[in-house]
Amino acid sequence: MRVTDNVLRMAFLSALTQAQQRIADTQNQVATGRRVNLPSDDPFAAARIGELDASLSRLEQYRSNGGLAVTRLGLEEETLVSVIDNLQRVRELAVQGNNATLGDADRAAVATEMRQRLDSVLALANASDQNGHYMFSGYSESTLPFAPGPGGVSYNGDEGQRHLQLSDERLVATNDAGSEVFQRIPNGNGTFVVRAAPSNTGAGVLGPASATDPSAFVPDTYAINFLSPADYEIRDSGGGLVASGTYADGQAIAFLGVEVVLTGVPAAGDSFSVAPSSSQDVFATLQAFIDALERPVTDQASRSLLHNDMGQGLVDIDQAVSHMIDVRAEIGARIRAIEQEAALIDGFSLQLTESLSELRDLDYAEALSLLTSQLFGLEAAQQTFARTQGLSLFRYL
Amino acid sequence: MADILKIGLSALLSHQRALAATSNNIANANTPGYSRQRVELAERSSERLGSSFVGTGVDVEFVRRITDDILAGQLRNAATEFHRSDVFSELASVLDNLLADQQTGLSPTLQSFVNAMQQVADDPGSQSSRQVFLSEARNLASRFNSLGAGIADLNRQILASGTPSDGAPPPELLDQRDRLLESLSQLIGVDTVEQSDGTVGVFIGTGQVLVLGTESASLAVRPGSFDPEQPNIVLEGAGPDVNVTEFLSGGSLGGGLDFRRELLTSARANIGMIALGLAQAFNTEHANGMDLLGNLGGDLFAVPAPRALAAATNAGSSSVTVSVTDLGALQPNDYQLVFDGSGYSLFRGNTGTAVAMTGSGTAVDPFLAEGISIVVAGAPATGDQFLLRTVSEVSSGLSVLFSDPARIAAAAPTRTRGALANVGNGAVSAGQIIDVTDPGLLATATIEFVDATTYSVNGAGSFAYTPGADIDINGTRIQITGSPAAGDQFVIEANAGGIGDNRNALAIAASLAAGIFNAGVTTLQGAASNLVTEVGAATAESQNRRDAQRLLFDQAEQKLESVRGVNLDEEAADLVRLEQLYQAAAQTVAVADSLFSTLLSALGRQ
């Protein structure tokens, strides 16, 4: 082929442009540290990179959701620990206040401390989270959940539970409604509750009551009526006779899977009721102690009433404590689940980051050696051009 | 002697001409399109001198323009193809850049929007997370808007790429004609045919005449018949203007048009479809929620309604209304609705493929096809056409409707509870909104168990209880599990004050991550990443093609240049050779002169 000056120049320019373009590409890769800067650099890797980026960002969000959930649950747990401490102190006080040697003034002192404990439990139940929202009012987090009133403490929140997303599939509850924590606590032994009638005049005091066969218990309100200190009959709410028997101090009265132990000698006409357990809020349980302790003890009847109220109140507060412990355990389980999920997310993120790096990141050693050889090529082309341009016959004419 | 003088003179003149040609070659060594010239010499016819013939010198026969028409044609083709792929890849990489930025690309923006929704769910009562969400929503909308604007810009650049940079006078000389043809073929693919009279006919597209003899037509840009934003290229000649947009190929103009046809229109429709899917999925789910003020969720995103554009040429009086009814079946393209005299047919805007429609086109029974619904009214004329803009305008028009963070409906409008006095261990689910338009939605409904297996609603009716089965009351769906006892009550009520509720925020986040397109298979993220891949692959392919075409173009140019171009060394050698010959010829004249003098002096002595 005939080589003209233009051919030489064009060939050189084209080689130069391409070499410079390649160097610019490599330089860009080195500067960003990425092999793929634009989808057109490697469309299929770019698609995968896009997916991985989105997945990582989603996982990061889940991780942050989990962190937030742990904070919320941790706060709730701390609050519950304080509630349990208070309730346990109330239990001690109740045992103390139930002591027959105490006088009215001593009991009043116990009642005063108990009142303070009641106030602390109420304050804890109305506690706010880190954002100033009430922790125990369900969805209605700007509504004061528990307000004391003439009929006891009422709940103004709702039963809403907020869930946060821990993974694509998994949600975790980050709060518990106040009604579930402080109100839905079964009284008595969980199956039935025994109470002494306030009008009793005898010395009969209720002892432990147990459900020997909960399935045999037919839910109804039963009355154990003493016809005489030694004879009793048991009637259901319709007045039908369920059982009758003779009473001996400390011996269990049993019917329909119910076993009630009485101590002391009841008077004729005294009555004890056995009713199905229902929900009783923790505030009512505490208030019942205070009411019992503040009632003056003047005679046998009032003494029996004190012991009966305090004794059954102890059963109720044990229920409350065990309920709180259950709620706390549930929270602990949720926190553990979140931590497990976080560990999974960490592992998964690591894998994704590795895949991402493999797809996107530059092999510096390779890129730099490539750059060196490209620069060398460019220099060589430039020098050749300079040399060949110098060659002209005209110089010799 | 006279002959010697005559011969010497002819040599002098001829080589003068040859030297002139050589210096002209040197002078034009850098002139684009210049074909080197060579003086072709021929022997003068001999004279009879007695019984023999004697030569009479040399003549310039003609000046040869050294070029190769076949190579020139190859160069034109290569130039057309190279400029086509060059412009295509330039435009494609702009689009590629637009879509794929690490921080502001479509995919990361979508993801941070979904994340912001999750943050609202994390703390729905918090103003700050709501504020962040709203600004993410605005960010997303402006991202879509700027994509729309970027595409409109590209659309304008397409025509800019077709504007010639020089306005040379009409071809007079062959070199200039070739060069103009070359310039023309860089703009657009042309066919040339040499006519018997030496002129060249120039045809474009599928044989439309641009130049024939001394007549020429001109190309002009006219607003599109449907849409001024999609201009057409017409051929203005003696007759009516001919729309040649679809027929043009090759060259930078053809490259731009190909880009518009193959990539830009599809990218615009895809972005529009993603924007539409996002807006609809969000608004639908948002409407199921309740905001901080206790109102049901309103639309957050506004999108332009699909439009039906009538062609300027329509003779009938019919009007068309189009709407999108099913995102799952929607395709990322616009449509063309054509009346053929007896009925309407629907064609995809990008491929021209016919699409079957069901229905009769009335308001009651609209035409349905690929997720869109079409209602026609009025009297069409045969050949009337409508362009159905279903998705391609959505992106530019996406906007955020409210700026009050309190109006984000993160909560569900109803909530449930079990009565505190319940004896059984039945539990009620939090409830799910299935019909937000139910008039009784916010009314309180009480489910009371008559016995362990039967319940009444608001004191009426008797329904059998199946644990875990759906119970739909007043637009809310709940499930009751466990064993409720007689007298147990469960209540569905308005979620008044429920500012800590995030159920709807979670539902929105889930619906944004769920499959929306292709019958619920493709997610928003998936569609965005498909688009990025599609554009990326097309860009990469066009760059490869550009590189290959550049090679061919360079080769063709070098081949032609190697024939017609000037080699200065060659010219230098010629210069030396011709100078020597000229000197030799001058010497002949000198010899003739001396011969003549010799003769004269000899005669004078006598």
Q: Taking the domains of chain A in order of start, what are their residue ranges? A: 54-187+316-348, 190-278
The H-or-E segment that residue B456 falls in is strand B454-457
> Do both B269 and B131 map to the same domain?
yes
| Same domain flag for B172 and B89 | yes
A38 in contact with B, Cβ within 8 Å: yes
Which chain A residue lies closest to B560 (C-alpha atoms)?
A7
Q: In whole angstroms, what is the distance from residue B150 CA to residue B164 CA?
A: 24
* Inter-chain touch A38–B554, beta carbons under 8 Å: no
Same domain, B454 and B479: yes
DSSP state at residue A182: I
* Inside any domain, residue B399: no
For residue A189, what is the DSSP state?
Answer: T
Q: Which residues of A touch B30 (CB under 8 A)?
A: 6
State the pLDDT at residue A3.
83
User: Can you give the residue range of the structural domain that contains B430?
Assistant: 414-494
Cross-chain Cβ contact B118/A137 below 8 Å: no
Distance CA A69, CA B204 (A): 69
Q: Are residues B122 and B230 in the same domain?
A: no
Distance from CA of B114 to the nearest CA of A (A): 8
Q: What is the pLDDT of residue A309?
A: 92
Name chain A contacts of B111, Cβ cutoff 8 Å: 53-54, 57-58
Sheet holding B218-222, edge to edge: B218-222, B232-236, B242-243
Does the residue B142 lie in any domain?
yes
B505 falls within a domain: no
Residue B159: what pLDDT?
A: 64
Whether B173 and B281 share a structural domain = yes
Q: How far is A93 from chain B (nearest CA, A)?
A: 28
Domain identity same for B151 and B179: yes
Binary contact (A2, B114; C-beta < 8 A): no
In a domain, B57, yes or no: yes
- What tens digit of pLDDT does each residue of A186-215 get? 988 888 999 999 899 988 899 888 888 888
A325: number of Cβ within 10 Å: 14
**pLDDT tens column, B65-95:** 888 888 888 888 888 888 888 888 888 888 8
Q: What's the confidence (pLDDT) of residue B165?
A: 42
DSSP H or E segment with residue A245: strand A241-246
* Distance from the B64 Cα atom to the nearest Cα atom in chain A, whole angstroms: 17
For residue A101, give how far its alpha carbon lies from the nearest alpha carbon of chain B (Å).
38
Tokens standing for B505?
A: 């925020």
Q: Is residue B408 part of a domain?
A: no
Interface contact flag, B96 A38, Cβ < 8 Å:
yes
In total, how many domains does chain B have?
5
Which chain A residues are Cβ-neighbours of B105 within 8 angstroms?
A: 50
Q: Is CATH 1.20.1330.10 the right assignment for the domain spanning A54-187+316-348?
A: yes
Residue B409 lies in a domain: no
For residues B363 and B376, the answer to whether their CB atoms sit within 8 Å is no
User: Quick one: B101 and B173 in the same domain?
Assistant: yes
- Quick one: which of A36, A55, A24, A25 has its CA closest to A358? A36
Which chain B positions have a beta carbon within 8 Å of A35's beta carbon?
Answer: none
Determine the pLDDT at residue A109.
Answer: 93
Torsion of CA A322, A328, A333, A337, to 10 degrees: 170
User: Phi/psi of residue A138, each to 5°?
Assistant: 70, -140
DSSP secondary-structure letter at B358? B
| Three-class secondary structure assignment of B109-155 | HHHHHHHHHHHHHHCCCCHHHHHHHHHHHHHHHHHHHHHHHHHHHHH
ipTM for the assembly: 0.83
B101 and B160 inside one domain: yes
Q: Which residue has the tokens 């790096």?
A: A357
| Blockwise average pLDDT, block size 10, chain A, 397 residues | 82 87 91 88 86 90 92 94 96 92 91 95 93 90 91 91 90 92 90 90 88 87 92 91 89 90 90 91 94 91 91 93 95 94 93 92 92 92 85 81
Find the angle CA(B292)-CA(B298)-CA(B300) to the nearest 5 degrees. Answer: 100
Ordered mean pLDDT values, 10 residues apiece, chain B (606 residues): 81 91 89 86 86 87 85 87 88 84 76 88 86 88 83 73 43 63 81 77 80 78 71 75 78 83 86 91 92 91 89 84 89 88 86 87 90 89 87 88 91 91 88 90 92 91 92 92 91 90 92 88 88 88 89 88 88 92 92 90 76
One domain, residues B162 and B288? yes
Ranges of H-type helices in B459-567? 503-513, 524-564
- Residue A276's nearest CA partner among A149, A170, A190 is A190
Q: Which residues of A touch B577 (CB under 8 A)?
A: none
Ordered DSSP codes for B481-496: ES-PPTT-EEEEEE-T
User: What's the pLDDT at B444?
Assistant: 93
Asked, for residue B182, whether it belongs to a domain, the answer is yes
**What six digits make up the tokens of B80?**
């057309």
- What pLDDT, on a 0 to 100 scale, did the predictor assign at position B173? 57
Q: In terms of Cα–Cα distance, which of A66, A69, A49, A70 is closest to A345? A: A66
Alpha-carbon gap, residue A22 to A36, rounded angstroms:
14
Q: Which of B178, B213, B248 is the last residue of a domain?
A: B248
